[in-house]
Structure 1
Amino acid sequence: MAFDPTQPFLRADGLAGGLTEKAMRGPGYRRLFRNVLVASTTPPTALQRVRGALVLQCEEAWASHASAARVKGAPIPTIADEHVSVAHQKLRRHHKGVRCHVGDPAGVVVERGMRVSGDLPMFIELSGQLTLVDLVVVGDWLVRRRGITPEQLVKACKSSRHRDRRKALTAACFVRRGVDSPMETRLRMLLVLAGLPEPAVNLEIRDDLGEVIRKYDLSYPVVRVAVEFNGKLHAEVVENWEDDLERRADMDEDDWRLVVVISAGIYKHPLRTLQRVHRVLLARGMPGVPLRLRDDWRPHFPGFSDAA
């Protein structure tokens, strides 16, 4: 193939392609890793960095773990290093900023022109890098966006020989269908880890003709309680705000109680959120609600990791 400086390349390949050392040290080229460069005219992206990490490896290597998640667009927190895998220990090549693992090539697929871990292997690989809640976020995303089923995730974790398979299995058992966003996952996990009954996901309320008139993110239909995450979009867009007002009026007529949770209710004040939901469920007589909340949620939410 003709040398293309707009794609990550090794310094040696740049020399072979007619570039000089002086040119490659100049402003026309950006360094991704040691001896890996790309033309500065190309915008820096996560995919570009993954491609650069693969350039340093053998042709049979593939992007795995967090790097595979970045290629697929999965919702993961920031992880500094790139991660690649090879089929055998002897093929590993160590470079600063790139972690090289030994994996099973049987689960490798091609996406965006790159060899990457398949969805199920990637989920298991991420169990060694993500917290329980972040991993469930990825699992819910795989079900919603990639057509994976919760049953497939559980089965893959049970049959895996990966060292972190038990962590992956724990998370897979919390994965559900129909979750619309990562924040809904986090809110659901907060409630469940605190010992509250698991809420229904995206319950649809229909009229006498069978038409959907409302849908609740999380709900306890037995006692008509809905718990919903509202981002800034609901407050900043007039149409959304008006729709919310009409929706709440309809809920009042049907005797539904709505508990609205915003970002701060998960990232800053998760205990307040739990106490609010707990009080409402107790007042409504929800079966299975404990008198005292469990502390299992504390290690998994910001500001409470010291309780682990």
Structure 2
Amino acid sequence: MSDEDLSGPAYRRVLHGVYVTSAVQNNLRERARAALHVAAPGAYVSHHTAASIWGGITPSESRIHITVPADGYRNQRRGVVVHQYRELDADVRTVAKIRISSPAQCFCELATNGLSLVDLAVLGDSLVAAEVVTSDELIKMADSWPGRGARTASRAARMVRAGTDSPPESKLRMLIVLAGLPEPVVNYIIRHENGDWKLRFDLCYPELMILVEYDGEHHNTDPRQWARDLERREYLERLGWRIIVIQKNHLYQAPEQVVTRIRQALLDRGLPSSRCRIRPRWMTEFAA
């Protein structure tokens, strides 16, 4: 095939030297296949790319990450990051004919790659929500991980919770915990007398009847959602619940105020001050 053929409408370049027909979708899996096509034997998709394919949430990363054996060549190409593994009994799976790090292994790979404690917890929550791994499997892998970041991975794995709906909810829970406040229950459900599902809350202190809810932007931009939220909160307030609503600008621009608001609510509901001491370690992860 000539260069003229490849540059025509029938083909599309995925990476330098790698082309597909125009009918092939331009998505993450196809770019991962292309990277493996020109990689050393034994290579597999890893790190951010593997996490995304498994349904995990990580900080934005457009490059494809692959890992090759220690004695394999590192064929560097624009848009591809090549890692090498040493003394690692890799846990590699196959998804849609792609060799890929297991969910637990890519969690630990990203710890080695410097992902923060909070971002690792967000990743763990999202992988568990995608039903591709359990928190126990993350803990087991992290505790035996030989690479850098093993301590952070082990700590983050123990902070992963099932049932979290979104990264902001995970980050809000982590802010509360790292600040030293009691950990709220995730997705607490109130049921009708017959046991049917009635209401579900993001974060909750059931014994104190305190709700902590994260409102995404759609809660403000959708009038019907806004009206439903108001009606729901008025109903809960009549039942005696105290509701603390946290929005995006609160969490990302004024985290200290978030911690203070939640602490005051706990104190108002009778929690001893000894259990509401704010620790400064949250600042390293959430400094505005």
TM-score by length of structure 1 reads 0.83
Distance 1:149 1:100 in 2: 26
Amino acid in the other structure paired with 2:106 = M
- CA distance change for structure 1 residues 222 and 289 in 2, over 3 Å: closer, same or farther? farther
Match of 1:100 in 2: 83
Amino acid in the other structure paired with 1:216 = F
Amino acid in the other structure paired with 1:112 = A
Unaligned residue ranges in structure 1 (runs of 5+) = 1-18
Match of 1:76 in 2: 58
Task: Render the CA deviation track for 1:78-133: whole Å, top value 9, x for unaligned.
Answer: 124322123x3211323043223226465111112211011111111111232111
How far did 1:242 drift?
3.1
1:140 aligned to 108, 111, 125, which one?
125
Q: Establish whether residue 111 from structure 1 lines up as the match of residue 95 from structure 2.
A: yes
Distance 1:117 1:147 in 2: 12
More RCO (CA 8 Å, sep 6+): 2
Query: Is the CA contact (8 Å cut-off) linking 1:75 and 1:137 kept in structure 2?
Result: yes
Match of 1:126 in 2: 110
Task: Render the CA deviation track for 1:49-68: whole Å, top value 9, x for unaligned.
Answer: 22221122134311011121
Task: Render the CA deviation track for 1:158-217: whole Å, top value 9, x for unaligned.
Answer: 123233322210110111122122111011001111111111111112233333322111
TM-score by length of structure 2 reads 0.88
Match of 1:205 in 2: 190
Moved more, 113-122 or 57-66: 57-66
Task: Render the CA deviation track for 1:114-158: whole Å, top value 9, x for unaligned.
Answer: 110111111111112321111101111122212522222112211
Distance 1:25 1:292 in 2: 64
Distance 1:59 1:246 in 2: 60
Distance 2:273 2:156 in 1: 23
Distance 1:94 1:147 in 2: 30
Q: Establish whether residue 58 from structure 1 lines up as the match of residue 40 from structure 2.
A: yes
Match of 1:195 in 2: 180
How far did 1:40 drift?
5.4
How far did 1:37 drift?
3.4
Aligned residue for 2:76, secondary structure, equals: coil
Moved more, 283-292 or 72-81: 283-292
Distance 2:140 2:272 in 1: 31
Task: Render the CA deviation track for 1:242-276: whole Å, top value 9, x for unaligned.
Answer: 33222212211221000011111222222222222
Distance 1:61 1:126 in 2: 17
Match of 1:222 in 2: 207
1:173 aligned to 155, 158, 168, which one?
158
Aligned residue for 1:222, secondary structure, equals: helix
- CA distance change for structure 1 residues 57 and 255 in 2, over 3 Å: closer, same or farther? same
Aligned residue for 2:200, secondary structure, equals: strand
How far did 1:32 drift?
3.8
Q: Establish whether residue 247 from structure 1 lines up as the match of residue 229 from structure 2.
A: no
Match of 1:15 in 2: none
1:45 aligned to 27, 30, 36, which one?
27
Say what the alpha-carbon RMSD is for the aligned residues.
Answer: 2.3
Equivalent pairs counted in the alignment come to 284
Report percent identity of matched pairs: 36
Query: Is the CA contact (8 Å cut-off) linking 1:233 and 1:240 kept in structure 2?
Result: yes
How far did 1:28 drift?
5.9
2:72 aligned to 80, 91, 97, which one?
91
Distance 1:80 1:243 in 2: 37
Amino acid in the other structure paired with 2:133 = I
Query: Is the CA contact (8 Å cut-off) linking 1:92 and 1:100 kept in structure 2?
Result: no
- CA distance change for structure 1 residues 148 and 70 in 2, over 3 Å: closer, same or farther? closer
- CA distance change for structure 1 residues 137 and 288 in 2, over 3 Å: closer, same or farther? farther
- CA distance change for structure 1 residues 75 and 273 in 2, over 3 Å: closer, same or farther? same
Q: Establish whether residue 297 from structure 1 lines up as the match of residue 252 from structure 2.
A: no
Unaligned residue ranges in structure 2 (runs of 5+) = none
